[in-house]
Structure 1
Amino acid sequence: MTVKAGGEEPYARGPAPEGDEAARFSAMLEDNVVDLYENAPCGYLSTLMDGQIAKVNATLLGWLGYRREELVGRKRFADLLTVGGRLYHETHFAPLLGMQGEIGGIALELRAADGTRLPVLVTSTVKTGDDGRPLLIRTTLFDARDRRAYETELLRTRREAEEARLEADRARLAAEEAHQVVEAERARLHRLATTLQRTLLPPSLTAPTGLEVAAYYHIASADEVGGDFYDLFPLDGGTWGLFLGDVCGKGAAAAAVTSLVRYTLRAAAVYDPAPAAVLANLNTVLTREYHGTDPRFCTVLFGLLTPDTEDPRGGFRLTLASGGHPPAILLGADGSARYLPTPDGQLIGVIPDAHIATTTVCLRPGDTVLLHTDGLTEARTLPLGGPVGDGDGRYGDDALLALATSLAPTTAPAAVTALQELLDTLGAGVDDDTALLALSVPHPTPETEQ
């Protein structure tokens, strides 16, 4: 069953319930919709066409410290903005919304009840009636405090490190002391970059019942934050979402985009978990947030795991959508290995209507699926004396598939360990970060068969 949040009509796949069962189903469905709206990870509000607030969810109320009755019917959306945000809303945001009917990814600042400021990313859509007349405005707000704090602190630390280096050049008589200052600043930058990198990755992964999971992140440079990311998280109805991808570039800019991408993927999966729909939502956010002379894009695989209840042996159906990302590898229980084709999937964040390719596979006991970023296949092997690659100086896709074939059948932890050892062997030839995520269906044990 799939439920749409935000006031949309719920729908179900399969035959509709009847009688008393239909009544219980409807009550449960309504509770789910209300809970999804009220406790979504982002703020929601609906306003009349004059901006008066008609509906607001608990998430946004918690951010701002207001009671519902203080806002609904009493304030307009513009009243929640700072002075500068209100001016921008009146001169740019509202006119563009009126002309286009939708505007998103706009950075604004809200003023909370206690006077503090809350940076947010705002998306608004005008909803119309059957006659085409505008009825109300629905607005989604994403909390941008972490992203702004990371950017500000990282840029500030970089400036301090650079100033320390310039001062060391000018104070040649104190070369040793200057060197110590520089190294101390570099160590602090390293710690900050490492801390920021950890915030862009899940602290740990919880495996769904009936699956093994393993992940690994290989840092190519300790001085710069990379743009690779992955995650695995539960959704409604026993399904799980997963993703792995790579943002272009490094440093603070890439970290900001990575944070936005991870947040958007998780949030989008709550509303419509269909993999192609999730990546389409992300593409819309990136193309609107980053455009013009500073485009930002990523490659990404998004998957939806669903227990296969029709197979008595157990297993899962995995649907993968690709936005220009290297394909996943299926290591079969029969000892085979093959890429899961997602041809012609386009980069996410480059063009408004990117093509998104999908594929579906059934994971049976003994099967393992491996997702990876291109830091591994793009690694240099010659003249480093490392593992033999595809003959062009890179490790390459063919060499990776050959290694996967030699490992199959295997488990997620064993596959990730083998690739971790490979990355260590390649050493300095790996000049880009690499993320690995593997899932496997274990063979049933006597205990699980009972």
Structure 2
Amino acid sequence: MAAVRRYDILDTPPDGAYDRVAALAARLFEVPVATVTIVDEDRIWFKATHGLEGVTEIGRDPGLCASAVLTDDPTVIPDTLVDPIACSNPLVAGPMGVRFYAAAPIITADGYRLGTVNVLDTRPREISEADSATLADLAAVVRDQLELRLSALHVVRAEQERRKVEQDKRQAEEEARQRAERDKTAIAAFASTLQRTLVPPALPAVPGLELACHYQTASPQEVGGDFYDVFPVDGGRWAFFLGDVCGKGAEAASVTSLTRYTLRAAALVDADPTAALKALNTALLLDAAVGTRFCTAIFGLLDPAPDGGFTVTLATGGHPPAYHLSPTEDGGVRVEAVRAKGGMLVGAFAEAAFASRTLHLAPGQGLLLYTDGLTEARTADGDMLADTGLTDFLAQRSATVGAGRLIDDTVALLDTLPDTERDDVALLALSVPAPDAAPAGITTTAHSAAAPTADASVGQENRRP
């Protein structure tokens, strides 16, 4: 019975190959009826019939096929009426009146008998040993056909399984891709949200000063380590800073947060820029959570001047120079790198020394601060922009040195550079409007930002009311 189930042949639709075996048997033995049967547990099922229309199965007991399938050799009953088992069979005792029956078992290669190939006649008769051998050969043909069918089933099932595996694999890959996209979006949203907590939501309105900034992270999935801020101190003075923490990610973000609030707190106690950097250096070295992370920073103090400009005191801690821009009489721009010699990295050494320098930011003049993601950006030739490239770019601009225009032009420069190996970039620009440019007290604050794509900026933009 297990072998019968293995071939999965029971109750299958008619098949021309088996029908031809039944027809060939009837013709070779010159009998009116021939069948190909499979013996089930409680029935004889006809896979093919010749001369026996409308019959698909009969009971197993008492049965001619049920007896014939028990032997390895062909069974021959010359006269069914004198056979004690065959005489009571419905095909013999019934209207059909079968008087002759011969069958050969269908035997599998591993020795299991599945059913029989049968020939029946309505008159008694004898057959020779050669005829018995022929009947056995027809049973072997049926066996071979069953093996071919089983092999084909295995191939089809294997192909179906392969397709199912491939489909499951594609589905799993698609689900994994969708999860990755969702995770990527969630990470980008988290990073963007965290990033916004590390920079001011908007720059303040400083009387007589135009401010603009831009912040762009290298990847929307990472929190950048650059920072900046502008805030009031005392006596109408204002402080500002910009810097870059070593590294990226959550650890860098924690240092960024500590740096920003330490500088704010230090400036409220002592507005001297050098003192603020010393306080930050001490805080970074004492905080065990910071580890070996350090930062570069530039801290400035704005003191209103009688001419409507500002006296600016800049202290640096290992940071690139700021650029002081002044219009010239011939319509050009004079670009001066503001360097304070001797400023060391912040948070790297206990005895770090910091230097400061004072300049006058007169009406019509501007000041640009940036992180090294700008000067280390690569040009189309593969060379870094460097200080010389930035200086040349600033010098070739028009005489307008307003902070908003300065940031827009610098962002436009960044957009022309390849985005390979791009680092975070923070920009902060300050300018004093010329007397004929804007009424005193009008301030433009701009946070330039791109959409959150593969190399998105983070921030927001506020334009002149």
Give me the TM-score of the superposition, normalised by structure 1.
0.57
Q: Deviations over 1:381-438 (max 9, x none)?
A: 1446xxxxxxxx1011001011111224411111100000011111414611000000
1:264 corresponds to 2:262: yes
Cα distance in 1 between the residues matched to 2:324 and 2:205 = 18
Q: 2:292 aligned with 1:295, yes or no?
A: yes
The corresponding residue for 2:459 is none
Is the CA contact (8 Å cut-off) linking 1:299 and 1:347 kept in structure 2?
yes
Residue number in structure 1 paired with 2:212: 214
Q: Secondary structure at the match of 2:205?
A: coil
| Deviation for aligned residue 1:171 | 7.7
1:438 pairs, out of 421, 424, 429, with 429
Aligned pair 1:316/2:310, yes or no? yes
| CA deviations over 1:72-106 (Å, ceiling 9, x no partner) | xxxxxxxxxxxxxxxxxxxxxxxxxxxxxxxxxxx
Aligned residue for 2:325? 331
> 1: CA distance between counterparts of 2:431 and 2:421?
26
1:44 aligned residue = none
**Counterpart residue identity of residue 391, structure 2:** L
Paired residues, number: 268
Q: What runs of 5+ residues in structure 1 fail to find an aligned partner?
A: 1-169, 385-392
Identity %: 50
Deviation at 1:291, TM superposition (A): 8.2
Question: CA offset at residue 344 of structure 1?
Answer: 2.1
Partner of 1:304: 301
8 Å contact from structure 1 (residues 336, 409) kept in 2: no
Aligned match for 2:355, one of 354, 357, 362: 357
1:348 and 1:205 map into 2 onto residues whose CA distance is 25
Q: Which residue of 2 aligns with 1:398?
A: 388
> TM-score, structure 2 length as denominator?
0.55
Q: Are the aligned partners of 2:380 and 2:418 in contact in 1 as well (CA < 8 Å)?
A: no
**Cα distance, 1:178 vs structure 2:** 2.3
Deviations 1:202-244 (A, max 9, x none): 1111231111111001221111111001011111110000000
> What CA distance in whole angstroms lies between the structure 2 residues aligned with 1:398 and 1:435?
19
Query: What is the identity, as a one-letter code, of the residue corresponding to 1:297?
Result: F
> Which entry has the higher C-alpha Rg, 1 or 2?
2
What CA distance in whole angstroms lies between the structure 1 residues aligned with 2:308 and 2:176? 63
Counterpart mapping for 1:377-416 below 5 A: 377-383=375-381, 393-407=383-397, 408-416=399-407
Residue 410 (structure 2) pairs with residue 419 (structure 1): yes
Q: How does 1:139-150 map onto structure 2 within 5 Å? A: none
- What is residue 243 of structure 1 aligned with on the other side? 241
Over 3 Å off, 4+ runs = 170-173, 445-449
Give the Cα separation in 2 of the matches to 1:446 and 1:410: 11
| Secondary structure of residue in 1 paired with 2:262 | helix
Q: What secondary structure, in the 3-state scheme, does the structure 1 residue paired with 2:419 have?
A: helix
Query: Contact 2:316/2:354 (CA < 8 Å) preserved in 1?
Result: yes
* Residues 302 and 321 in structure 1, CA contact (< 8 A), matched pair in contact too: yes
Distance (whole Å) between structure 2 residues aligned to residue 203 and residue 264 of structure 1? 18
Which of 164, 172, 175 is the aligned partner of 1:174?
172
Q: Secondary structure at the match of 1:231?
A: strand
TM-superposed CA distance for 1:290, in Å, is 4.1
2:250 aligns to what SS in structure 1? Answer: helix
* Counterparts of 1:307 and 1:403, CA distance in 2: 29
The alignment partner of 1:194 has SS state of: helix
**1:196 paired residue number:** 194
1:238 is paired with a residue whose SS is coil
* 3-state SS of 1:416 partner: helix
Do the aligned partners of residues 430 and 414 (structure 1) sit closer, same or farther apart at CA in structure 2, a change above 3 Å counting?
Answer: farther
Distance 2:345 2:363 in 1: 33
| Unmatched runs of 5 consecutive residues or more in structure 2 | 1-167, 441-465
